[in-house]
Structure 1
Amino acid sequence: MLDISPLTWAVTVGLTVVLLLIDLVLAAWRPHKVGFREAAAWSVFYIAIAVAFGLWFGSQYGSAAGTEYFAGYIIEKSLSVDNLFVFVIIMATFAVPEEHQHKVLTFGIVIALVMRVIFIVLGATLISLFSFMFLLFGLLLIYTAVQLFRHRDEDPDIESNPMVRGAKRVLPVGSDYVGGKLFAHEDGRRVVTPLFIVLIAIGSVDLLFALDSIPAVFGVTDETYIVFTANAFALLGLRALFFLVKGLLDRLVYLSAGLALILAFIGLKLIMHWAHVDLNESIPEIPTPLSLGVVIGILVIVTVASLVRTRSHPEEKAHAGSLTATKSDRKDRPQ
């Protein structure tokens, strides 16, 4: 186990909070449509911070720890791209004006980070108490991978989300975004704006993604600090990445299949680690450098294959993938 001092933890959490506050202040101070150049600049900024941190971390705590961080960061970054697909679907479903999408994304990232912190603490506690949690996490990831692959050509049904339906049933929902406010007055009564429902939708989706991403990063490291930093730095750049690759997302037709392969591979790695520790030490483990190479290789292959496919078949569009059959898909199936 790494000896991470309380000061290092405090500085890391403080840096994360400061970067989040910068995003929140910018979103509230100057709502606007984010262009390609601005998105590219912010993306480079956040990636540079993540890489600089990884280099510092590796120099301070050893190359093995640095490799685990970069492996975790790349896994979380790749899984976060699927987040972007769902964010696009939510934005389209609720017709979020472009000048408010920056704010929605920033709040969505804050919610995602809070969710992940909760699951990181819970996951680390369970792993420290019960070694068989590696087996359960591995089986969870393989199940998720199978479901994602089966429904790779579908999109999640946001309107049928239980939390969204419940909120619409209980809360009075206004008809206008009212300058990006969460609450407003309409016809003499206090209502929530559609933006409030959008945040509920994003929060519920973030909860599902946290259930997958945290076990995935525990597949390459059991260091709580590395799990937190890999998630934090991957999520911090998500807002800028959304505006940078929004036009490219439709072309990544094989991404869901690639993410399913990554989840299955990490699930297998977790099961082999459990078997090595609890059953027989002669059972081999998958080393982290190999995991890093496999993840990068899968991402490169599916990206190139997707771009080649859509170049010859421009009518094809990518999908976020779903863990269950969508409502329309269920209707089409024979009874």
Structure 2
Amino acid sequence: MRHPLRRLSSVLILTALVLSLGTACGLGSEAGLVIYSGRNEGLVKPLLEKLEKSLGTDVEVRYGSSAELAAQILEEGAKSKADLFLSQDAGALGALAKEGRLERLPQPSLDKVPAKFRGSAGDWVGLSGRVRVLAYHPGQVAKAPDTVRDLVKPEWRGKVGYAPTNASFQAFVTGMRVLDGDEATRNWLKGMKANGVKAYDNNIAVLDAVNSGQISIGLINHYYWYEKVAEKGEGGVTAKLHYLPGGDPGALINVAGVGMLKGGEHRATALKAVDYLLSKEAQTYFSDETKEYPMAIGVAGTVPGLPPLDSLKAPEIDLGKLDSLQQTLTMLREAGMV
């Protein structure tokens, strides 16, 4: 089986030869750490280079989607060379936890993150958080609804946009299934379809459509708006954000996180890596680069105007239960939403 791992530093001709041959056997044996990363290479490579320097050892990284890499780890089983799994969302970590592939982390590491943003079994921790919000056009919306459940009402016909293939949208739907049940979620999706909801390729396109007045409301993650403001200034962004109250499913706070694989060859180094990723340096990197919330207790965000995390009224949900992605995709297809 081929495993094209990317090295973060150019050392050891022998290792480079093994990589060029694409053989899985022996990969990771010379490295100090092997990471499977579901976070985008362009985003996290600079941070992982800092991690490599902090550890004083080589780091090998394999990039892919979180769902694909989680499935790969399950397929590889005990033969996997991965030491750490860096996931874009909690659902993929929950899937590995359910199958017993993650090792419990030391309590001092767990205590760095609020309990609701880590695995219930203590086998993964959140690193950065994102909030589902409604972006709305203030010239078209006098008052944004306080629940996504109201978006099926006739007053919003043809005025709402979403990104069906976006992982965060799918995680939100999964969260609604956990909170409201499958039948209610299915009916909501069918209602949205019947109400003329408009599909876009990604969250950026949804936000652009709100800014231009093409639609009145968009379902997005908070950080897309803050990235746009950082680029153009608040005066250059027409859309406003509405943070939904009352624990609404549309106010889900999801996290990117990290878990340590059972049977990894470099356990001690992996534990050091987890603690580095929860350090002020790494947490501030996520805030600076992605406008996400730091998950480590005591680390303040750097995004101007971003509401404090503890001021948000997110739904109470075990994020590890966002692992049933396939059922969500099936439901979205049946409702004609993808």
**TM-score w.r.t. structure 1 length?**
0.23
Higher relative contact order structure (alpha carbons within 8 Å, sequence separation ≥ 6)? 1
| Structure with higher helix content | 1
